Structure 1
Amino acid sequence: MRNLGKEDIIRVYDHFKKSAHASFESGDHDKAIEWVSACSRIAYHSNFFYTDPELDGLLRDIAQVVCGGDIRVEADTPGDRLVFIDTDGSDNHGLTQQYIRALIAAGAEFAYVYEDADLGRIKTILGEIRDYPKATVITFEKGNSDIHKTRAIADFIREYRPRKYIMHILPWDAVAVMVCNLLKGVDRYNINATDHAFWLGASCIDYCIEFRDYGYTVSLEQRGLKKSQLLMLPYYPISNGAAFKGFPARIPEDAVKVFSGGSFYKIYGEKGLYFDMVRRLLSENPQAVVLYAGAGNGSKLKRYIKENGLVDRVILLGNRGDIDGVFQTCDFYLGTYPICGGLMSQYAAVSGKAILAYTDPKLGINMIEGLVCHQDQAHITDTSLEGFYARGKRLCDDETYRREEGDHLKRCVIPPLVFNDELRYLLENNVSKRVGRKEYVDYEAFSDLHLEVENHYQPNIQMYVALRLRWKTALKFPKIFVNAMTIKMSRILKIK
């Protein structure tokens, strides 16, 4: 396979964007929206840039045509209704439940708009909303087009007349951004849950809710947003309360259980350093075992475990729905690298478990402190490997130290009542109680990491381009076509 360079990916992005404009000019608005979303997926997986006002503007032009002009809510409109539009939420994942519970606690009148037709993902969320008399739920049927959804939401908002519009959306959600572009006299917010990457809509929002200084910095430096638009509000994790299903019987009862986990892509890159960190950690601490729970393609980790004789020391748990019980039963948490797990780190902290983590200083996105230390400060992330191994040994050897570290982290995470109060204040004043601070971000190092992952571990962009363009890929982007066919054939041969 031939490695992709930045110029190869930019060429794909530009081709997709030209196709979006051409589709709009020919009157094919559905296709234009598809191309805009496709551009966004390419940008999200590459991290060469973080916003594109041209795409936002194209979505505005499409929305104007298909919805018949702006949606204006007059300043003297009575009430304080909100619309919360969601594509990034599911039960016990994302930030939907934290925000919905805070709105309910504040007694707010709101409409919850869920774009995905699969309501099975939000059973708990829907149950909580439908039990609240001041909420309205808007959902869609399978097969509804993006234009149908945009028109339906626009028509609803014209009647509902909210004062605020809050987006909790996927980076390529064109529908929510088209509606956002139409709103006049409405405060428009984006919950920046994907603060490390590209997302649509930065040029059409009034406020961006940031959960850490890393995202605050990226929004200032790369998205063109002003300090006055950036509102700081960290979040807490949602517990599902599922019963603990136990660990495999072959794990010794007296072993130090080091839990690690997250989507497998988070441990790929930096020449497999995470794998080597695990191997040395176990070599220096014979009483320890590593338990890994995650989803995705784990073939490289499985091969490493076998080739290095770690079958009895690294145990793969699969995708665990009883994550609370897993954390309660482990001894401490090992952070993933080169991409840390934000939600997993928070679960560890609220479970009172110490966190062992490393990052190269150039990858500041991995500083766990920004994800956990909301109410108090703590040292969590080592930026030297020797410091990491020394702390790992102490955590394995000293039960009292583990407990004290975990108890401290438990006090660091923002509690639900504080979150509720700060969101209410934020929405009432368009100012946050917390102040963001700029930090150093090495954008080139981060985009280089994504390029390494694309070329050597998970070819998301290449497979997506081949799927979208099919045989046209061979004509437009022959390198990507050859790579995608090679990957596909290797997967078929492995299955056989």
Structure 2
Amino acid sequence: MALTIQKIIAQYNFFKNCATRYFNLGQIEKASNYCEVAARIGYKYNFRYSDDELESIVEKISKSVIPDSINFNPVVNRIVFYDSFAQDNRGLTQQYLRAIIGWNSELLFITPKTHIGKDILDELKSYSKTRILQIDSSISFSSQVISTIKEIERFRPQYVFQHFSPWDILGFTIWNGIKCADRFLINLTDHAYWLGKYSTDYFLEFRKYGCYLSIHQRKIDINKLLFQPYYPIQNENNFLGFPILKENKIFAFAGSSFYKIYGRNGLFLNLILELLDNNPDVIFLLAGNGNDKPIQSFIKKHKLENRFILLGNRPDINEVIKNIDIYINTFPMIGGLMSQFAAVNNKPIIGYTDIELYSFNDTEDFLQINNANTLVKTNVNDFLHSFKELVNNELVRAQNIELTKNSVITPYEFSKLLLNTLTNKRPVSENFTHESIINLDSVTALYLDMEIHFLHDHNQIIWNTINYKLFRDDFKLATHVFIDRLINKIHQSSKKIIEFLK
């Protein structure tokens, strides 16, 4: 069955209707489960950026699980950090925790995860004013909500930071019921669909593009949008080296999840091929994780084994960037965090995007630089020319580096600004939320293209989220999903056989 945006939206609405149906039947756990799978589909394809109907269902779930009004007097300088991820170098957990610890605040760290990243856990345990609450996943959904609410009531926070995943229905349900403390949602996935709008008071934004979407697509009051840029965590790991000697070569580098370079008919890989053809002294290095088979095939096809080096996932990413010469941003999706690593390590940055995705990939917006079209080009020839200049001209390279100098907020500045944001709650200005140059339909088409040609995980997301409940409660849908998965497997196997025969 061919996957189309119409089919995706129909599935999304079906799951949303399932959530409503099961809520009306009093089956809260199933209702929350269907809310989650709908949110995961919304996030995967971004055919919309919020959903008030789905938010309302979560709100109803919260009110049914927490029937009594929660009321407490907040204790000054007590802060809750709720974290959907609790993973090292995933999102902004460590940046916010370090600020909270620096304020000498009492901290309650709450996560639904059974495992907390080692670096995060070490920092939490080393701070004497920390309490850690890992929500017990073995008990029912309602029991998880109630037990967590009781801990929050006992703690009586003044402020709450919400580091949500876009589909954390448990978290949204909990915080929908807490209105005694000021709640701040960290808009981590500002480019995408997410839920949580009804479970917070303020939204911490880090760039103009996210603000634009929050106002015009999510319909959030501008007075609730607060500006809070961030910095990368620079772990000092030992440099693991490169599998090739430099020998007077120029090392160009890109880093991201590999899915970010798929789509647009593989244009990014073809641009790298052209860069290598035009610049014989350049070696290209690519770090990241995910499905690398298309990249491996590309390298083999063009005999680039000695010039296009796939590094894989590198725990020493900061050291990697210290040892390269030029950073190339990925396309059709930017690697924003990698741009920050390049800037703080004084490396020149260059990238390409088409005009339809300009704001989506605007490095200068991400780094808060008011010098349009220097770090990102919308014309292929301009991009190739700019890269060649960075290779051959030390002055051009120095000018590029100077442009990004001090563009990334320091940990001290981050902490100071965040504390000021909590107390003053000064919203972003109208000028900050300029009209963004982007075709939102192109963004949706991009995600659909990546799924059809590279990722092939649409049904797996549904399957993993709802699992056996599909068979038990919605046999017809389960049959469709099973058939789709089977057809997809046959299609992938056929492609492998054809590739092998070639």
Name the TM-score, length of structure 1 as normaliser: 0.92
What are the within-5 Å matches in structure 2 for residues 76-225 of structure 1?
77-119=74-116, 121=117, 123-141=118-136, 143-225=138-220
Distance 2:235 2:188 in 1: 20
Per-residue deviation at 1:378? 8.6
Amino acid at match of 2:182: D
What are the within-5 Å matches in structure 2 for residues 471-482 of structure 1?
475-476=476-477, 482=483
Per-residue deviation at 1:134? 2.9
Amino acid at match of 1:206: D
Aligned pair partner of 2:337 in 335, 343, 349: 343
Amino acid at match of 2:414: F
User: Which residue is 2:294 aligned to?
Assistant: 300
Aligned pair partner of 1:438 in 434, 440, 464: 434
Confirm or deny: 8 A CA contact 2:346 2:401 kept in the other structure: yes
Aligned pair partner of 1:228 in 223, 226, 243: 223
What are the within-5 Å matches in structure 2 for residues 41-56 of structure 1?
41-56=40-55
Distance 2:478 2:136 in 1: 36
Distance 2:79 2:432 in 1: 25
Q: 1:6 to 1:29 in 2, by over 3 A?
A: same
Confirm or deny: 8 A CA contact 2:207 2:229 kept in the other structure: yes
User: Which residue is 1:425 aligned to?
Assistant: 420
Confirm or deny: 8 A CA contact 1:260 1:334 kept in the other structure: yes
Distance 1:145 1:292 in 2: 44
User: Which residue is 1:19 aligned to?
Assistant: 18
Unmatched 5+ stretches in structure 2: none
Confirm or deny: 8 A CA contact 1:337 1:359 kept in the other structure: yes
Q: Does 1:10 align with 2:9?
A: yes
What are the within-5 Å matches in structure 2 for residues 35-74 of structure 1?
35-74=34-73
User: Which residue is 1:358 aligned to?
Assistant: 352
User: Which residue is 1:456 aligned to?
Assistant: 453
Confirm or deny: 8 A CA contact 1:377 1:412 kept in the other structure: no
Per-residue deviation at 1:103? 1.4
Per-residue deviation at 1:163? 2.4
Question: Larger deviation: 464-473 or 108-117?
Answer: 464-473
Amino acid at match of 1:67: I
Distance 2:212 2:370 in 1: 20
Confirm or deny: 8 A CA contact 1:378 1:409 kept in the other structure: no
Distance 2:166 2:283 in 1: 37
Over residues 201-234 of structure 1, what are the superposed CA-to-partner deviations in whole Å (9 max), with x where a residue is unaligned? Answer: 1133211100100100000011120110000111
Unmatched 5+ stretches in structure 1: none
Distance 1:90 1:237 in 2: 14
Q: Does 1:485 align with 2:486?
A: yes
Per-residue deviation at 1:396? 1.4
User: Which residue is 1:280 aligned to?
Assistant: 274
Distance 1:252 1:87 in 2: 41
Q: 1:215 to 1:36 in 2, by over 3 A?
A: same
Per-residue deviation at 1:270? 1.0
Identical counterparts, % of pairs: 34
SS in 1 for 2:350: strand
Per-residue deviation at 1:129? 2.4
Q: 1:72 to 1:142 in 2, by over 3 A?
A: closer
Distance 1:177 1:341 in 2: 28
Per-residue deviation at 1:193? 0.5
Q: 1:180 to 1:375 in 2, by over 3 A?
A: farther
Per-residue deviation at 1:256? 0.8
Amino acid at match of 1:188: R
Name the TM-score, length of structure 2 as normaliser: 0.91
Q: Does 1:317 align with 2:311?
A: yes
SS in 2 for 1:248: coil
Confirm or deny: 8 A CA contact 1:293 1:320 kept in the other structure: yes
Distance 1:151 1:25 in 2: 20
Confirm or deny: 8 A CA contact 2:63 2:177 kept in the other structure: yes
Distance 1:293 1:337 in 2: 14
Per-residue deviation at 1:422? 0.5
Confirm or deny: 8 A CA contact 2:185 2:202 kept in the other structure: yes
Distance 1:189 1:245 in 2: 38
Amino acid at match of 2:488: I
SS in 2 for 1:64: helix
Confirm or deny: 8 A CA contact 1:33 1:59 kept in the other structure: yes
Question: Larger deviation: 214-223 or 363-372?
Answer: 363-372
Confirm or deny: 8 A CA contact 1:264 1:298 kept in the other structure: yes
Over residues 121-147 of structure 1, what are the superposed CA-to-partner deviations in whole Å (9 max), with x where a residue is unaligned? Answer: 2x2222222322333221234535443
Per-residue deviation at 1:407? 4.6
SS in 2 for 1:457: helix
Per-residue deviation at 1:489? 3.7
Question: Larger deviation: 5-14 or 462-471?
Answer: 462-471
Per-residue deviation at 1:475? 4.0
User: Which residue is 1:245 aligned to?
Assistant: 240
RMSD over aligned Cα, in angstroms?
2.5
Task: Give the count of matched residue pairs.
Answer: 490
User: Which residue is 1:31 aligned to?
Assistant: 30
Amino acid at match of 1:73: F
User: Which residue is 2:255 aligned to?
Assistant: 261
Per-residue deviation at 1:469? 6.5
Amino acid at match of 1:149: Q
Confirm or deny: 8 A CA contact 1:63 1:179 kept in the other structure: yes
User: Which residue is 1:402 aligned to?
Assistant: 397
Confirm or deny: 8 A CA contact 2:331 2:352 kept in the other structure: yes
